[in-house]
Homo-oligomer: A and B are copies of this chain.
Amino acid sequence: MKLVADNLNIINPVIRNALETLDPEPIREMVTRCEIAGADAIDINTGPLSRAPIEKMTFLVETVQSVSTLPILIDTTNPKAMEAGLQANKNISIINGFSLEPQKLKTILPLAKKYKSDIIGYLLYPDSSVPQDASERFDLAIQIHKAIHDHGIEDHQLIIDPIIVPLSWQDGIRQAPEIVNFIRILPDLLGFPVKTIAGLSNLTSGYGNMKKKLRMESAYLPMLAAAGLDMALLNMFHRETIEVAKACVPLIRPGVFSWEEL
């Protein structure tokens, strides 16, 4: 299971301000800290970037690359920003991502073919609502798979995000174990070893007690890891969660020679 830093996010005022003023230093520092903490990839989450999308995404990608060679997940709903990021990145890019929303199918999805990059498909309805159960998730996964196939994108480029539901939602507690089971059986359903990603912070979104958040993250992440999750998108500065994430590796990868090496 690879760890993807979700720290480089426009929601963080430090990052927002650095982007507004095109100041690379706070971004470099953030990326370096994430890499030291053990990140295997960096998610650049800019939101829609309505003003100067090309300039800003290019600036972000170049800044990240100036201190790191890690793969970059380009996380924006703006197709112009997305393409600018794909063009600027000299390392591995992952498009994060698309859903069955018609606008995204039309504008984001073709970029995966053009740039031969992996692309994350969110299991969301075209109106961005969340599926209610495993059966609805299966239907959406099949539609997502069909969509990439129709656009000439290879199976191995697809990464499915089942969309973790906050525990604070009415059905959050019911959905948490369903999503674990869904991740386990998805490759069998689709008939190929489809990769998966999940945003761990969604689980505790809307809940304030940080100690409890960390504890819930630390308990849920090994369940996802054991189910075969390929990439966990998470806050690399949640030390407790990251330590547990690293401890998962020898428990799920029979190929690892010795747990003392890890």
Contacts and interface: CB of A to CB of B under 8 A. Distances in A.
A63 to B, nearest CB: 33
Given A219-B222, A225-B223, A226-B180, A173 B259 contact: yes
Given A173-B254, A218-B222, 7 more contacts: A172-B259, A177-B226, A207-B260, A216-B247, A216-B259, A220-B222, A222-B222
A252 interface: yes
Name the 10 nearest CB pairs between A and B, nearest first.
Answer: A219-B247, A223-B226, A222-B222, A215-B247, A174-B254, A167-B259, A219-B248, A219-B222, A176-B251, A219-B244
Interface of A: 167-168, 172-174, 176-178, 180, 207, 212, 215-216, 218-223, 225-227, 243-248, 250-254, 256-260
Contacts of A220: 222, 247, 251
Looking at A168, A177, A216, A226, the one whose CB has the most chain B CB atoms below 10 A away is A226
A198 B28 CA distance: 46
